[in-house]
């Protein structure tokens, strides 16, 4: 709730400001709650992605968030299979294929490196695979520090499976030292929620994390 209502747009504007200052317009994206997607997309220049999209085609879709509907509001992609919104393999396959067909970004979350085997088996090749041990999410105990082997293991497994997806990580990331450690371990970026949302100064926290990866 720290980023609910109008504060959601305020946080997105801070991220947009940092991206422009650091010349990272395509390297920083925001994923606001679904009710704020269109509002945020109209006001900022950095990519806006959804937190979830449904495996549903066009037609009778009342209550669903479809890929083409998101795209019509200039939403650039979606997180898929976050640990707080898990999907079946069949649903992941449908969503990723729909996103790729619409030239939108797919960020598929996995809880452990072994889950990448199924993604490779379906030949999905999402743009990003985000490794997030669920037990660390929101704890402030960064995966890059407490479980570095999860990141290195994910990078190695992706290479062994022949996946072209970029590996990023999340769970417990709270500052620039955490994200810098993640990059050093082979991650191509970080997925952060409470580490920024619950910070006293959003601008400073976003800049700290982003600048550590430049």
Query: Which residues are known catalytic residues?
Result: 82, 132
How far apart, in whole angstroms, are the C-alpha atoms of residue 33 and residue 197? Answer: 12
Ramachandran angles phi, psi of 190, nearest 5°: -135, 150
In the numeric block, which tokens belong to residue 101?
């067909």
Cβ burial, residue 75 (10 Å; 0-12/13-18/19+): buried
Sheet with 166-170, strands from edge to edge, namely 49-50, 77-80, 105-110, 128-131, 166-170, 190-191
């Amino acid at each position: 709730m720290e980023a609910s209502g109008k504060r959601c747009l305020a946080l997105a504007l801070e991220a947009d400001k940092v991206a422009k200052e650091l010349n990272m317009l395509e390297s920083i994206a925001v994923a606001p709650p679904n009710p704020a997607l269109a509002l945020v997309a109209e006001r900022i220049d950095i990519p806006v992605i959804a937190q979830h999209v449904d495996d549903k085609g066009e037609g009778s879709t009342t209550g669903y968030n479809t890929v083409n509907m998101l795209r019509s509001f200039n939403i650039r992609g979606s997180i898929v299979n976050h640990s707080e919104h898990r999907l079946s393999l069949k649903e992941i396959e449908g969503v990723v294929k729909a996103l790729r067909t619409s030239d939108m970004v797919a960020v598929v979350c996995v809880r452990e490196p072994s889950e990448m085997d199924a993604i490779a088996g379906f030949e999905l090749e999402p743009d990003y695979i985000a490794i997030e041990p669920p037990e660390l999410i929101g704890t402030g105990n960064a995966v890059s520090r407490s479980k570095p082997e999860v990141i290195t293991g994910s990078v190695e497994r992706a290479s062994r499976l022949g996946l072209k997806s970029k590996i990023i990580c999340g769970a417990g990331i709270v500052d620039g030292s955490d994200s810098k450690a993640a990059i050093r371990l082979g991650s191509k970026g970080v997925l952060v929620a409470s580490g920024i949302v619950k910070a006293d100064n959003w601008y400073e926290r976003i800049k700290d994390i982003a600048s550590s990866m430049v």
